[in-house]
Amino acid sequence: MNKTGFWKKSASGALIAAMLLASSLPAAQPVVPLAFVSVAHAEGEVKPAAKLEIQSPVGLLMDAKTGQILWEKDMHAKRYPASVTKIMTMMLAYEAVANGEKQLTDIVPITENAYLVEGSSVWLDPNEKFTLQEMLEFIAIQSGNDACVATAEFVAGSEEAFVARMNKKAQELGMKDTHFADTNGLHHPDHYTSAHDIAIMARELVLKYPQVLEVTKMQTKMIRDGKFKLENTNHVLGQYDGLDGLKTGFTDEAGYCLVGTAERNGFRMISIELGAPDDAVRVSDTMKILDHGFNNYKSEPVIKKGESVAELAPITSGKEKEIGAVAASDLNVAVLKEGGEFETKVVYNEVTAPVDKDAVLGQLQVVQNEKVIASVDLLAVQDVEKGSWIRLMFRGIGNFFGGLFGAIGDFFKGLF
């Protein structure tokens, strides 16, 4: 056999072997670079916000859009929430409406249990007829315990069944410091929460059912043909620019509590203070917490809904090896007005074809001080079919020889 014939047969055999080997290998995944963006354009070390001191033993400040906790004081301390509990009661009433179980125009029966409940009340009578919308007003404005019981029984069949829903929802929301024993916050040793968990449920209520703010911002309302006046127990209303909620609470064991929320120029804050010695302190502490937020922080846009990220998403076994991705929703982040820097990072999941358009491919994460403080899902811009076996085979061959020649190149480069 001549040398030429031997070379042809050897090369042919090597090629076939390489093809078989390559077709059995998964397609190589491209390395996805990280995107770093500094939106504040501040130089040097990030400056901390001015120090905040309040008289209440527990406090918290949250950016409602992102859930970022911007300041806190003993936020995981076990506390009795008193009527702050009613944030969850209102949430589940709105949820029942959203799920089609009830309507706001439904008449809510007033049972003997509701009529006899202790504590703050609107003195409901079993002979009266009020809608679910009116019950929510009684809860939000007057903090009516009787309205809570009537609403709970109407929505879930009994107060016990409603409380079970409350605890289930708390678990779903990740409220690990919380257990509810009633719908209204009357003192019970097994009814407790924390500022951290209250912030979670307040944010859920405000973002998911923003119509509640039309109720919680009411300072007064006349009912019973103008014979009875509801008066809001939240005395920050009318005194603080942009404040439109949310809920007060008081028992001897809980002290004076207030969950406030205010919005200025699209930037919504949630404030929490628990355990104040009197109403004047809870009002002043709430204002201090909100001032701290609005004076020191600003809301920065990161990406808009439908906007693309620069990095393509790798797809395994697809007709296309990589595709574009867009943000599922707007993403803003709260940063210090002075020295507030952050980075963004694209993180893709391992995705195998077929892929449907709008499928979640990964996340755009906002990172500050090496901690993820906010994120938004990234969605596929197109469908991706599973690649044919021959396409995947030749892609594998290309990856194999690309890696092989790259290794050879690196070898020879190392010799010189």
CB 240 within 8 A of CB 233: no
Residue 345 CA: distances (Å) to CA of 309, 349, 366, 369: 10, 13, 6, 13
Q: Active site includes 388?
A: no
Report how far residue 79's alpha carbon sits from residue 85's, in angstroms, rounded to the nearest whole number: 11
Please identify which of the residues 83, 121, 271, 299 carries the catalytic annotation. 83
298 in a known ligand binding site? no
Please identify which of the residues 56, 65, 73, 86 carries the catalytic annotation. 86
CB 319 within 8 A of CB 339: no
Q: Active site includes 143?
A: yes
Please identify which of the residues 120, 143, 271, 299 carries the catalytic annotation. 143
Cis ω for the linkage preceding 30 (within 30 of 0): no
Q: In this structure, what is the dihedral angle of CA atoms 271, 277, 281, 286, given to the nearest 10 degrees?
A: 0
Report how far residue 113's alpha carbon sits from residue 153's, in angstroms, rounded to the nearest whole number: 9
Report how far residue 62's alpha carbon sits from residue 271's, in angstroms, rounded to the nearest whole number: 7
Q: Which residues are annotated as a binding site?
A: 247
Q: Which residues are annotated as a binding site for substrate?
A: 247
Give catalytic residue positions.
Answer: 83, 86, 143
